[in-house]
Amino acid sequence: MTRRLAIIDLDGTLLGPAKRVSPENLRALQRLRDAGFETAFASGRHHRNIVRYEPEVGAMSWVISASGAVVRHAATNELMYELTLVEADALELCSAARDAKLAIILYHRDGVFMDGESEATRLYAARAGWNPQPGNLPQLAASGIQKVMLSESTSIMKKVGLEIECRFATRFYSVWTEEDLVEFLSPQANKAIGAQALARALGIEQADVVAFGDGNNDAEVLAWAGYSVAMAHGQKGALNAAHAITPAGPPETAFACAVEMVLETKPRSGGL
């Protein structure tokens, strides 16, 4: 039997607005597994924040975290792939953010850290469901930062955040995951790169990969996959990149609709 891989985003896709998996989505996830798909969860979240959902979604295997910068096994903790920021570039970016009085949140192999607490870091904690810890920026940069997130009010980010993004455009891959939050990663990092690394290691062809997502940071993997579905409530980047879009409906069950669309797709040369 042809091996098949499903790349599944969390927030806004498998997880509904309340950050829970609806019964409909949970049944759809099991349908994918029963149909022979290897399931991999791909999120902008930190690896440790993703695997917290294992009791809810069932046993996890490979996890693509930090918007594609890291691929790690949930059970064995084996690190397959990791892209970190150049130390000098990370320090310069954070210095510019400090000067602009933006909140700085850092993803590192050891956890999620902040350069100082603020209203923006508290809002991030509420969205992500866990609190970043105070961290020593030079030490973190020296041992490998996976991504830097900058945040403030939407009005400030539309001006200052965009200015910083333009200033560092040639040195980072950047993506706006919220109107008040921009992420900076290695120029080689995105969910598609992480999915490609995983598919190669598992011996699965691109044509046999399906992807589900709703965010701007899902655009690359939705475009790369052999077949992909974006949630109807998703951001513009996802909607433009996907092969198909779910019908309008409750966001907490959109993933279930997307799985139905995939399983109803006629078999093609790639095996879907």
Predicted confidence (pLDDT) per residue in 15-48, tens digit: 999 999 999 999 999 999 999 999 999 999 999 9
Q: 228: which strand partners?
A: 211
CA 121 to CA 104: how far, in whole Å?
Answer: 8
Taking alpha carbons only, the member of 61, 39, 11 closest to residue 238 is 11
The owner of tokens 């797709």 is 265
Architecture of the CATH domain 87-185:
2-Layer Sandwich (3.30)
H or E element, residue 79: strand 79-82
Q: What are the Cα distances from residue 236, in Å, to 61, 168, 217? A: 30, 23, 11
CA 270 to CA 127: how far, in whole Å?
Answer: 38
Domain boundaries, the chain: 4-82+190-264, 87-185
128-162 pLDDT tens trace: 888 999 999 999 999 999 999 999 999 999 999 99
Give the count of beta carbons closer than 10 Å to the beta carbon of residue 17: 11
Contact 177, 44 (CB under 8 A): yes
**Quick check: do 4-82+190-264 and 87-185 share a fold?**
no
- pLDDT(3) > 90: no
Using a pLDDT cut of 90, give the percent of the chain over it. 94
Both tokens assigned to 186: 């290695």
Contact 139, 183 (CB under 8 A): no
Calculate the dihedral angle through the C-alpha atoms of 118, 150, 126, 43, rounding to the nearest 10 degrees: -160
CA 162 to CA 82: how far, in whole Å?
Answer: 27
**The pLDDT value given to residue 259:** 97
CA 151 to CA 117: how far, in whole Å?
Answer: 12
Both tokens assigned to 161: 């955040």
Q: Tell the CATH topology of 4-82+190-264.
A: Rossmann fold (3.40.50)
CA 18 to CA 252: how far, in whole Å?
Answer: 8
Q: Model pTM?
A: 0.90
Contact 172, 89 (CB under 8 A): yes
**The pLDDT value given to residue 192:** 97
Instruction: Tell me the three state secondary structure of residue 70.
Output: strand
Contact 154, 165 (CB under 8 A): no
Instruction: Tell me the three state secondary structure of residue 230.
Output: strand
CA 258 to CA 83: how far, in whole Å?
Answer: 30
**The pLDDT value given to residue 272:** 56
Residues in the chain: 272
CB under 8 Å to 34, separation ≥6 — which residues?
none
The owner of tokens 């989505």 is 25
Contact 59, 52 (CB under 8 A): no
199-242 pLDDT tens trace: 999 999 999 999 999 999 999 999 999 999 999 999 999 999 99
